[in-house]
A and B are shown apart, each in its own frame.
Chain A
Amino acid sequence: GEDVEQSLFLSVREGDSSVINCTYTDSSSTYLYWYKQEPGAGLQLLTYIFSNMDMKQDQRLTVLLNKKDKHLSLRIADTQTGDSAIYFCAESASGGSYIPTFGRGTSLIVHP
């Protein structure tokens, strides 16, 4: 079945760039998402990318997609303490029933 994998933890210094990586197995994935979950809160969509795109940039966020390797990354420039959260990668395929598959989440810790 489909699988989405992420590393569990990432620690960066404030002001540095963070890169969170994700791999997936479903070659029919159409949309790939990044969600952010702050402590005690629900998931919030950060950004998404369509599978025919290689890159998407939105302010401090850059999403890179390597469809051949089924690898997705999220780069956060100038990481701030407020970026500390869990980041979930998710994928879905269009057509049929839409049920996204989520990774286990990467805990980003930003220290001064």
Chain B
Amino acid sequence: DTAVSQTPKYLVTQMGNDKSIKCEQNLGHDTMYWYKQDSKKFLKIMFSYNNKELIINETVPNRFSPKSPDKAHLNLHINSLELGDSAVYFCASSHTTSGQETQYFGPGTRLLVL
């Protein structure tokens, strides 16, 4: 009955590889997000996506691309991994209404690039 789930939980890979992180939410939310949390715990929004609009943080390299096969999934694909990509990546979702829009976070994927 997990609300927002991510796989894998840990990912160790070599520089230059391509990898994907999967995210699924069973809350019926219409908006999903990807965040990057660096070693200093700073949270940076990478993408916000619903079935109408993809909003990209312009500071995110184009090696990162979100892919959404359906409303319940937003996967993160990373090409040509670099050392600086090592971080914890969090997926989140929310229901975009005119009222309060709480985000529900996944448990995170810990990426280590060697």
What A residues does B104 contact at CB under 8 A?
A: 45
Min CB gap B42→A, angstroms: 5
B interface: dominant SS = loop
In the bound complex, what is the Cα–Cα distance between A102 and B43 (angstroms)?
A: 7
Chain B residue nearest to A103 (CB atoms) is B43
What is the size, in residues, of chain B's interface with A at 8 Å between Cβ atoms? 25
Q: How many residues on chain A are close to B (CB under 8 Å)? A: 23
Given contacts A35-B105, A94-B98, A104-B41, 10 further A-B contacts (CB under 8 A): A43-B103, A44-B105, A48-B100, A97-B53, A97-B55, A98-B48, A98-B96, A99-B55, A102-B43, A104-B40
Contact B108 A41 (CB under 8 A): yes
Give residues in B with beta carbon < 8 Å to A: 4, 31, 40-43, 45, 48, 53, 55, 90, 92, 94, 96, 98-108
Report A9 CB to chain B, min CB distance, Å. Answer: 11
